[in-house]
Amino acid sequence: MRRRGNSARCRRGRAGQAAVRGAAVGCRRARRGPRPARARPGIEQRGLLGRRASLADWRRAQVSPGRTGRQSRVVRLATYTVTEIKCVGIYYHPRLDEARAAADDLAADLNKRGVDVWTSMPWEPEQSTEHLPRTDLLICLGGDGTILRAARASAGHDCLILGVDLGRQAFLTELLPEQLDEHIPDLFNGSFMIEDRTMLEARPIGVDGESPGKLSALNDVMIGRGSLGQPAYIAVWVGGDLVGVVRADAVVVASATGSTGYSLSAGGPILHPQARNVVLTPVAPHLAQAAPMVLPGDAVIELRLGREHPGSLSVDGQRPFALHPGGGVEVRRSESLARLVRFGERPFFAQLGRRLAWLDERRIEAVSRTGVEAFDQKTADPS
């Protein structure tokens, strides 16, 4: 009988490789991937206690190699030690006075450490274009919106992103402002982890005006009606096959990160942040049932408007484009990843329940005192 976990305990592959798959032989499995080898020191094998690795090391180890057959690469939360943070960019929310003040203080502190620093507002990405190729870390002072803009601006540049929460109900930020001073040294002695988030790539079709070319999104891409009170006819193709024509306010294609955003509000499912799938969710479908779908991560999705009315395209809910009748967008998983700095493990589902107000403190206390039976009692207080 095969016992779960045997192969993981009996043999360790090269750092950055997924567990092998194949027939079980004793406590081993037949190899169908890269040959096992000694892990590179400082990466995963020794974690925070090992020797420090270069940025090039963690960039090579971020995603495991492509697998044979249908086994996909693994994006994971892993520990890396990095000493080569030489250039830091600071994005600050332009409408928050405390964000600008914090950016000035942070820049002064980093300059004292001999770090090359630049500051910018993410609302004006052209200001940071020349800096991003040499930037190792982006610190975002704001909320999730600031991080979304930073992820799009830095796509393809391998920048780490650290979010400092000055916004409302932020899911992506890591620190509160009062925690920043405590953790700045951790950035330079390697005491942090990297959490990779899948991004989307969008290619607009039939844009009114100059085409923006390829776009990146961390949360979602949406195509919808051009005016209030008028549903749009939207044709949906997946992998070249016509799924159908939806009459709705909009259709959203969301990454795992974006599954807790607009897609969730429209009735879409929640994906774990490390999932590589994408979600397709119709928004307010008219007189028909149009269920959301969870699609494979390598799916290519094309959305097209009907030929009678114009529409609009939105990327991460922040960058709108007008579309001609018959226009649309092609969406696929991007090769770029959003690389978020973490200072500890994040219990995603517990965090999700609290931030979406599914469990208030009183109910959490009830479970810890009496067990889950408290929720099965018909006489339990439903409030």
The torsion of the CA quartet 149, 169, 341, 79, rounded to 10 degrees, works out to -140
Number of helices followed by number of strands (H, E) in the chain: 8, 18
Separation between Cα atoms, residue 47 and residue 169, nearest integer Å: 31
- Are 261 and 255 within 8 A, CB to CB? no
Separation between Cα atoms, residue 277 and residue 297, nearest integer Å: 4
Catalytic (active site) residue 144: yes
- Are 157 and 41 within 8 A, CB to CB? no
**DSSP string computed for 92-121:** E-TT-HHHHHHHHHHHHHHHHTT-EEEEE-
CB burial of 228-259 (b: ≥16 within 10 Å; e: otherwise) equals eeebbbbbbbbeeeebeebbbbbbbbbbbbbb
Do the bridges between strand 311-315 and strand 319-342 make them parallel or antiparallel, or are there none, so unpaired? antiparallel
For residue 233, list its beta bridge partners: 247
DSSP 126: G
Q: How far is Cα of residue 177 from the mean position of the Cα atoms in its chain?
A: 22
Q: Which of 105, 109, 116, 144 is catalytic?
A: 144
Separation between Cα atoms, residue 294 and residue 315, nearest integer Å: 19
Tokens of 337: 């990843």
- Could you count the other beta carbons within 10 Å of the beta carbon of residue 148? 27
- Are 258 and 268 within 8 A, CB to CB? no
The CA-based angle 367-371-375, given to 5 degrees, is 70
Catalytic residues: 144
